[in-house]
Amino acid sequence: MKRIAILNGPNLDRLGKREPEIYGHTTLADLEKKLRAAFKGDAELLFFQSNHEGKLIDKISELSDAKCDGLVINGGAFTHTSVALRDALLGAHLPTVEVHISNIYKREAFRHTSLTAPACVAVIAGLGLEGYFAAVRFLLKS
């Protein structure tokens, strides 16, 4: 059974409360339950969320050292600003799928650039929470 980690960055702990017109009403805990149910028996899912860049970087290193099979990351705003997060992903050598709940290309111009995308095998944007499910399915087939 593959071990796949799902990392969420800043403000994603506010899902269901923050800008529901963009992100919906489902909480991060609800999403975790739905993902666990959908992939029960197919994957061991590991979840982590932090509003702190360094904690996300530490977790990526930890997952790499633990020989995790894949990573789904929604880096939130760090996607557009963090060279350090990009470097951590590159150094981890984990197949990684970047997920964005909203279509970042229909939003503010600063969201159109992802510093972390070049360190990922795929990017999914604009599918809502379904993007997480698609990312896990992709990693299971890889």
Alpha helices in 67-127 (DSSP H): 83-92
Mean pLDDT of all residues in 17-27: 84
The pTM (predicted TM-score) of the whole model is 0.94
Question: Is 23 part of the annotated catalytic residue set?
Answer: yes
Instruction: Tell me the C-alpha distance between 86 and 117, whole Å.
Output: 8
Mean pLDDT of all residues in 55-60: 98
> What is the amino acid identity at position 30?
D
Instruction: Tell me the C-alpha distance between 40 and 20, whole Å.
Output: 28
Whether pLDDT at 105 is above 90: no
Question: Is 80 part of the annotated catalytic residue set?
Answer: no
Mean pLDDT of all residues in 104-127: 91
pLDDT value of residue 79: 95
pLDDT value of residue 36: 98
Q: Which of 52, 100, 105, 112 is catalytic?
A: 100
pLDDT value of residue 21: 79
What is the band of 107 on the pLDDT scale with cuts at 50, 70, 90? confident
Per CATH, which fold does 2-141 belong to?
Answer: Rossmann fold (3.40.50)
Phi-psi region of 49 (alpha: psi -120 to 50; beta: other; left: phi over 0): beta
Cβ atoms 114, 98 nearer than 8 A: yes
- Per-domain residue ranges for the chain? 2-141
Q: Which of 23, 80, 105, 132 is catalytic?
A: 23
